[in-house]
Amino acid sequence: MGFVIYIVRPDLAPLTGGELRKYFRARKNMEVKQDGAALVVTYRNPLTGAGFVFNYNPAGLKDASGRDSEAYQNLQLSCSIDYLRPSFFAYEASVELDRFVSTHGHSVLNPQSRTSPEEPVMFIASEMLKDWQSGNARAIVAHTKQKGPVPTIHPKYSGMIWKYLIVKKRIEEKLGREVLTPEMEVMRSGKGSVAHALLKWTNCAPMALPACQSVLIQRVKRKGFLGIGRKVEKGLARYEDVLAAMKPFMKPLKLEKPSYTVPVLMPEGAGKALKAFRQIPLAPLPKQMKPVPLDSFVDVIPAKKL
């Protein structure tokens, strides 16, 4: 179940497979597979996991049939973006669509459009994103009725995840092995809809602290004797509380293109920060916390009636 938009020449003249193959094979993160004269082009960003698919068939696309508009007859190229995904899947698709239609002077047919569903129009990324989000919200409602809640986080935290995923590898390269570059995870309690974008931090280990929603902290509250009587404390802390406690002991790491700054607890500061780490206020962990794959949560909160 997903969003499909069609790419056409303004005069509806046929598209050529050779031109499309040449373009997509030159683009980053595009895998081109050919089946006779037909093409399936899959975009997959290895950093963020975002993906979508272009389909080309010179004989016409079967999924475009059944509409009255003359413009929908014999369509050859589509772009499909799945629903029940975080918004950055659609953001990345909009960037590639915009680049493609601008390069070739193409128009689009968007059957989900609220203004021009039947006629070719200039591609406008912001309008496409609104249409995708509306469709995503309807898909969330349908899924909830049929199969139960979809893990949902606020768009603010989804954006934090996306930005961090883009720069995480570069942070790892700059910090090396002595400092942890953590995974940013999405977790939810049981089968409920409320999910958390969180990091895990254990025993004040040297670590980067990218902006997120919560930090799952594990720390030794009592060492015991020879391991006997040792007590370990786990809980969920607000990111703002963690940053306030740890910032005096951290150093900023700044990246460019894209611009990103992350506070880092370096090895030489970990010992000094341990007391503050132990005093960070913790809330009990929600019951049955389970990880959610990064392509299986949503950040479009649906209205009650659509």
Token pair 């898909």 is found at 139
Alpha helices (H) along 148-254: 155-175, 239-246
Kindly report, residue by residue over 145-157, the tens digit of the pLDDT. Answer: 999 999 999 999 9
> In terms of Cα–Cα distance, which of 180, 195, 185, 151 is closest to 165?
185
C-alpha 54/C-alpha 71 separation (Å) is 19
Using an 8 Å Cβ cutoff, are 56 and 36 in contact?
Answer: no
Can you tell me whether residue 216 is helix, strand or coil? strand
Q: Is the pLDDT of residue 109 over 50?
A: yes
The pLDDT value given to residue 63: 76
Distances (CA, A) of 73 to 40, 109, 119: 20, 11, 12
- Per-residue pLDDT of 174-200, as tens digits, reads 999 999 999 999 999 988 899 999 999
pLDDT score of 275: 94
User: Mean pLDDT throughout 67-87?
Assistant: 91
Span 116-161, pLDDT tens digits:
898 999 999 999 999 999 999 999 999 999 999 999 999 999 999 9
* Cβ neighbours of 98 (radius 10 Å): 14
Cα–Cα nearest to 40, from 51, 49, 98: 51
Two tokens, residue 161: 């995840």
8 A C-beta contact, residue 301 and residue 152? yes
Task: Give the model's confidence band at 224: pLDDT under 50 very low, under 70 low, under 90 confident, else very high.
Answer: low
Q: Sorting pLDDT into bands at 50, 70 and 90, what band is 67? A: confident
User: Which of 220 and 236 is assigned the larger pLDDT?
Assistant: 236
Q: What is the mean pLDDT of residues 71-85?
A: 94
Q: Is the pLDDT of residue 78 over 80?
A: yes
Output phi, psi for 226, to 5 deg. 55, 35
Which tens digit of pLDDT belongs to each residue from 157-179?
Answer: 999 999 999 999 999 999 999 99
Query: What residue spans define the domains of the chain?
Result: 2-147, 155-292
Per residue in 10-57, pLDDT tens? 999 999 999 999 999 999 999 999 999 999 999 999 999 999 999 999
Residue 254 has pLDDT above 90, yes or no: yes
Classified as helix, coil or strand, 225 is strand
